[in-house]
Chains A and B, each alone.
Chain A
Amino acid sequence: EVKLEESGGGLVQPGGSMKLSCVASGFTFSNYWMSWVRQSPEKGLEWVAEIRLKSDNYGTHYAESVKGKFTISRDDSKSRLYLQMNSLRAEDTGIYYCIRLVYAMDHWGQGTSVTVSS
C-alpha cells in the first residue's frame, strides 16, 4: 500500500522558516517524481513545487508565488521528500500535501498544517 506521511507543520511567525518532511512507503520512491501542493480556503488547491528523478539531475520546478523562497529536495536513500520554506508570509498558510506524481497526482498524504501568524 502506498503511504505518504507529512510532518513538520505548525505555527511560525511572519518572516520565519519551516521545513516540511514526507516519508514514503509502499513503493520505490526513487522511481517517481514528487510534488507539494497546498490548500487554503482563500486560494483553494495550489501546486507548489515538483522534483524529478536522479536521472533528471533532480530537476525542480516551482510556482511563481514561492520561487526563491521555497526549496524542494529529496533523499532517495531515506524515501523522504522535503520542503524548506523561508520568508514565510500569511498567504503561505494552509495544509501542505506530499504527492506522488504519475501523470496526475495519484497519491496524496494526509497533509500537515502550516500557520503563519504573529
Chain B
Amino acid sequence: DIVMTQSHKFMSTSVGDRVSITCKASQDVSTAVAWYQQKPGQSPKLLIYWASTRHTGVPDRFTGSGSGTDFTLTISNVQAEDLALYYCQQHYFTPFTFGSGTKLEIK
C-alpha cells in the first residue's frame, strides 16, 4: 500500500499569515493527490484534487502543489474559520490511502 506521511501533527499560525502543510507519498503517485479539511464535529470536505485543482466553492486562498512524491497545501491569508484538521490522500491506486492529518491551530 502507498503510505502518505504528514510529518507535522500540529501547525500554529496567525490570522492573515500564510501556512504550508506538507505530505509525502511512499512512491510516485503522479499528481493523484487530494486534500481534505475536517472541522470539529463535521465530516471531511474536499478542497483540492489532482494535486492542484480546487474543488467547487473552495476559496482561492487554498492552493495545492506538487507531483511525484512531495505535495503541499498552502493556505494564504489564514482565517479563523480555517481551524481544522487537514488530510492528504492519494487517489492513484486502490487502496486509496490517507495521511494521518495535520491540525491547524490559530494563535
Q: A44-B100, A46-B98, A64-B95 are in contact. Are A105 and B34 (CB under 8 A)?
A: yes
Q: How many A-B residue pairs have CB under 8 A?
A: 52
CB under 8 Å from chain B, chain A span 66-118: 97, 103-111
Interface class of chain A by DSSP: strand
Question: B34 and A45: CB pair below 8 A?
Answer: no
Instruction: Name the contact of B94 in the complex, choosing from A47, A105, A108 (C-beta under 8 A).
Output: A47
Q: Chain B residues near A19 (CB, 8 Å)?
A: none
Q: Does A54 contact B (CB under 8 A)?
A: no
Which residues 67-107 of B sit at the A interface, judged by CB distance below 8 A?
A: 87, 89, 91, 94-98, 100-101
B 1-25 binary contact with A (CB < 8 Å = 1; else 0): 0000000000000000000000000
> Which of A104, A107, A110: most chain B CB closer than 10 A?
A104
Interface status of B55 (Cβ within 8 A of chain A): yes
* Interface size of A in residues (CB-CB distance below 8 Å): 18
Q: Are A109 and B43 in contact (CB under 8 A)?
A: yes
Whether A97 contacts B49 by the Cβ 8 Å rule is: no
B89 partner residues in chain A, CB cutoff 8 A: 45, 104-105
Known: A103-B91, A105-B36. A44 touches B46 (CB 8 A): no
A63 an interface residue at 8 Å Cβ cutoff?
A: yes
B86 to chain A, nearest CB (A): 12
Q: Tell me the smallest distance from the CB of A34 to a CB of chain B, in Å.
A: 13
Asked if B87 and A45 make an inter-chain contact with CB atoms under 8 angstroms apart, the answer reads yes
Q: Name A's B-contacting residues (CB within 8 A).
A: 44-47, 50, 61, 63-64, 97, 103-111
